[in-house]
Amino acid sequence: MKNKRTIRDIADELQLSITTVSLVLNGKAREKRISQEVIERVQKFVREVDYRPNHFARSLRNGKSQIIAFMAEDISNPFFSSIARRIEDRANNSGYKIVYCSTENDPEKARELIRAFKDRSVDAYIITPTEGIEEELKELVAGEVPLMLFDRYFSGLDTGYVVIENEKSTYEAIRHLVDQGYSSIGFVTLDSVQSQMQGRLNGYVKAVTEAGLPEQVLRVPYGSPETSIVDAIRNFLQDNRQLDSLFFSSNYLGAGGLKAIRSLKLSIPEDIGVVAFDDSEIFRMYTPDITSVTQPVEEISLRLVDSILYQLKHEGQQVDTGKYKIALPARLVVRGSSVKNK
Amino acid sequence: MKNKRTIRDIADELQLSITTVSLVLNGKAREKRISQEVIERVQKFVREVDYRPNHFARSLRNGKSQIIAFMAEDISNPFFSSIARRIEDRANNSGYKIVYCSTENDPEKARELIRAFKDRSVDAYIITPTEGIEEELKELVAGEVPLMLFDRYFSGLDTGYVVIENEKSTYEAIRHLVDQGYSSIGFVTLDSVQSQMQGRLNGYVKAVTEAGLPEQVLRVPYGSPETSIVDAIRNFLQDNRQLDSLFFSSNYLGAGGLKAIRSLKLSIPEDIGVVAFDDSEIFRMYTPDITSVTQPVEEISLRLVDSILYQLKHEGQQVDTGKYKIALPARLVVRGSSVKNK
DNA sequence: AAAGCAAGCTAAAACGTTTTAGCGGATTTA
DNA sequence: TAAATCCGCTAAAACGTTTTAGCTTGCTTT
């Protein structure tokens, strides 16, 4: 049971050369003109003894690890973990395993992780990039390693990515608030220059400008603990009594915002309308339920992994990178938190 | 930049043998009596050129992958993803990477995954076992691969594990309901013989029996989609009008239960008291907030990864397996959903 | 002066694959 | 009849480590 059989054992037992066995195993038998009889003999035997090739030896020889790295900002965030969940299956089906890690949006940590993955020659990368790791990404691209960014990207870098139409969907969400009669709309975002946050801000600015409303933006420092987020939002509301609605540009800002609103005993949607970017179970269960810009998690995952697998399959062949620059539409799911007159 | 240097190159450039360089690199120089001067020369040079050993070659030679497999039931469930998050850091710090996968509680899938991991010689396993994979686990144990189960375990198998004191903590939760004056307490669980579910059921039975109350149990089929869960719970409530409180034995049963309760327009905690096993953001944010048996996620993770790392470090040495059979206490967090008289 | 020993290093095997280059012999071509 | 081609297979190199066994050299011992 435990005495691992090697390809050499197989060859000996079948009175064949290692080469022949290897060729059959790798499906190159026909092309190398091994006879049908031998092919079948090998296949049958290999099946019988349940021979399993040694991954290390194979990897050493061909430089491939059959591993894909999944670098999220935080794997315990439902947005990332549900993508992780979906990526997993398709990757497994194609013989790849996934190693994950969380950057915590720390460039230093991200760099180290990429380094470690390089050392292990992972075959491909799926990354939510932190600010400041352009150099490392550039090196990956130069090394022709399949790479997809998601959630955000660097416009200056020629990498594949899957993102959301942030500007457009935020614009529509704000329009929705305007249509509902809200006229003093606050925008709560992170103090970050990342592309997805910029896009959302742009959508907001565009919509309020068009509607002739003032811009009222709160920037919470990146990486704040939840209590600080709640405090910041509470202060924002207290300092700006005229606010009649808030847009939260991420799911955890939304969760913090709800706590802040509750602690001020404001009622939703009468005193304050609410829309959040990124759906979550909390928003669906909250009373009232929260209107949100819902990202197509399923499709994001699909596009990511399919792009990666395609690149892996056609490695070396220079493929059109434009094909991998994907912006998906998000859906505005209107719920009770933003509908005044019922 | 991209011309990877090998240990042979280092040796040549330093006019030394491969062996010597390798010994220095692996910290065996002293013991093999390499001179201090040579040691330093090697170390200095290696640092300068930033030599990175080839993992594949090393693995091929010593059979170690420096990879730990993390098999959850579903990585997108917050309970599992937050454990994943915490395990990751400590593992990385010790030079291990983590591959994850979700069994979906499908034994066939679990078996295949274990098989794939075996092929890749992962160095250790952290697993939420599905029913019916005792054989595979037994083989791992026999192969002396470090292994820890969590969330549940098999009492018939001599493996390490980290679980919760399910019976005790459920008992206390039910006692709490009794103390609050609830006298018709329903228990919503999964149709499963897994140890954690058995434990919770036992705790419930013990508490209601002691209090002289009837047992009223709903078993939802494992793997039901959320809508069926909601329906089942709604029917349970309608068929048993006398029920004045419910205990949900998992977080997603709790979420489903809240929806059912809401759809029946019952109010918590007046019409129906609620306690759930396993905390979640939803329970904290719900109105009223939901009393829950909170698992010590941080400590679970810590114990898992520390046990694994310890076993990895002392491989070969027969260690006391009893040491790795860990049952941690859970904390009853009392919130509004189970407190009648305020 | 021969033997023994330690210090300081190294040659080479082994890990298990994939793949290149090529070998005999039979058949076809010129 | 000699040369070229094809068929079916294989020897051996290469991938980059770790580690066992052992080789010099010079010093100490008897």
- In strand C, the nucleotides that come within 7 Å of a protein beta carbon are 7-21
Looking at the structure, tell me whether residues B171 and B154 fall in a common domain.
no
Domain co-membership, B172 together with B156:
no
Distance CA A73 to C1' D16 in A: 34
A273 and A175, same domain (yes or no)? yes
Inside any domain, residue A82: yes
Residue B59 located in a structural domain = no
* The two three-digit tokens of residue B221, written as one number: 């089929």
Same domain membership, residue B303 and residue B160 = yes
Q: B4: nearest CA in chain A? A: A119
pLDDT (tens digit, 9 = 90+) per residue, A105-138? Answer: 999 999 999 999 999 999 999 999 999 999 999 9
CA B342 – CA B340 distance, rounded (Å): 6
In a domain, B16, yes or no: yes
B1 found inside a domain: no
Which residues of chain B neighbour A289 with C-beta distances below 8 Å?
none
Q: Assign B1 a pLDDT band (cuts: 50, 70, 90).
A: very low
For chain B, give the number of residues.
342
- The distance (Å) linking the CA of B316 with the C1' of C5 is 34
Share of chain A above pLDDT 90, in %: 93
Q: Walk along chain A (342 residues) and give the pLDDT tens digit of each residue.
A: 456 899 999 999 999 999 999 999 999 999 898 999 999 999 999 999 999 999 999 999 999 999 999 999 999 999 999 999 999 999 999 999 999 999 999 999 999 999 999 999 999 999 999 999 999 999 999 999 999 999 999 999 999 999 999 999 999 999 999 999 999 999 999 999 999 999 999 999 999 999 999 999 999 999 899 999 999 999 999 999 999 999 999 999 999 999 999 999 999 999 999 999 999 999 999 999 999 999 999 999 999 999 999 999 998 777 777 789 999 999 999 999 999 865
Decide if A269 is inside a domain: yes
What distance in Å separates the CA atoms of residue A7 and residue A22, rounded to the nearest whole number? Answer: 7
Q: How many domains, chain A? A: 3
CA of B27 to C1' of D20 (A): 17
Identity (one letter) of the amino acid at B269? P
Q: What is the pLDDT of residues B133-192, one digit of tens each?
A: 999 999 999 999 999 999 999 999 999 999 999 999 999 999 999 999 999 999 999 999
Residues A49 and A108 in one domain: no
A263 forms beta bridges with none
Residues A81 and A42 in one domain: no
Matching residue, tokens 């907030």: B289
The token pair that represents B250 in the structure block: 């998992």
pLDDT for B320 equals 75
Judged on CB neighbours under 10 Å (0-12, 13-18, 19+), B278 is buried
Q: With residue A228 as reference, give the H or E element that holds it.
A: helix A226-239
Specify the CATH number for the domain of residue B39: 1.10.260.40
For residues B317 and B299, give the distance between their C-alpha atoms in angstroms, rounded to a whole number.
Answer: 26
In the chain, the amino acid numbered A13 is E
- Burial environment of residue B193 by CB neighbours within 10 A (0 to 12, 13 to 18, 19 or more): exposed
pLDDT score recorded for residue A1? 42
**To the nearest whole angstrom, how far is the Cα of A101 from the nearest Cα of chain B?**
7
What confidence category does residue B6 fall into, taking pLDDT thresholds of 50, 70 and 90?
very high
Asked whether residue A290 falls in the same domain as residue A305, the answer is: no
Amino acid identity at B24: V
Tell me: the pLDDT tens digits for B21-77?
A: 999 999 999 999 899 999 999 999 999 999 999 999 999 999 999 999 999 999 999
Q: Are residues A86 and A131 in the same domain?
A: yes
Q: What is the mean pLDDT of residues B74-97?
A: 96
Q: Which residues contact A11 (CB under 8 A, 6 or more apart)?
A: A17, A18, A20, A21
Is any Cβ of chain B less than 8 angstroms from the Cβ of A286?
yes
Query: Comparing C-alpha atoms, which of B336, B315, B278, B231 is closest to residue B80?
Result: B278
Nearest CB neighbour to B84, from listed A76, A82, A285 = A76
Residue labelled with tokens 């198998």: B157
| Eight-class DSSP state of B221 | P
Least CA distance to B255: which residue of chain A? A285
CATH number at residue B323: 3.40.50.2300
For chain B, percent of residues with pLDDT exceeding 70: 98
Q: Which amino acid is at A322?
A: G
Rounded to whole angstroms, the Cα distance separating A111 from A117 reads: 10
CB atoms within 10 A of CB B273: 24
Alpha carbons B173 and B203: distance in angstroms, whole number: 9
pLDDT on residue A341: 67
B266–chain A Cβ distance below 8 A for any pair: no
- Does residue A316 belong to any structural domain of this protein? yes
Summarised one tens digit per residue, pLDDT across range A129-182 is 999 999 999 999 999 999 999 999 999 999 999 999 999 999 999 999 999 999
Q: Are residues A258 and A310 in the same domain?
A: no
CA–CA gap between residue A267 and residue A305 (Å, rounded): 42
CB contact under 8 A, B56 and A52: no
Tell whether B24 is covered by a domain.
yes
* Residue B174 belongs to domain spanning: 166-295
Interface test with B, best of A1, A7, A56 (most B CBs within 10 A): A56
In order of A266, A290, B286, the CA distances from B336 in angstroms are 20, 22, 10
| B100 CB within 8 Å of a chain A CB | yes
Residue A99 dihedral angles phi and psi, to the nearest 5°? -100, 140
From the CA of B21 to the C1' of C5: give the distance in Å: 26
Q: Is residue A334 part of a domain?
A: no
Domain match, B214 and B134 both = no
Parallel, antiparallel, or unpaired: how do β-strands A291-294 and A331-333 relate? antiparallel
**Could B78 and A75 be called an inter-chain contact, meaning their C-beta atoms sit closer than 8 Å?**
no
**Do B171 and B317 share a domain, yes or no?**
no
Asked if the model's pLDDT at residue B228 lies above 80, the reply is: yes
Strand partners, B333: B292
B159 shares its domain with B114 = yes
Residues with CB under 7 A from strand D: A 15-20, 23, 32-35, 37-38, 57, 60-61; B 4, 6-8, 18-19, 22-23, 25-26, 28, 32, 53-54, 56-58, 60-62
| CB contacts, 8 Å: B54 with chain A | 60
Task: Specify the pLDDT at position B112.
Answer: 97
| Nearest nt to the B19 alpha carbon by C1' | C10
> Looking at the complex, does the CB of residue A116 fall below 8 Å from at least one CB of chain B?
yes
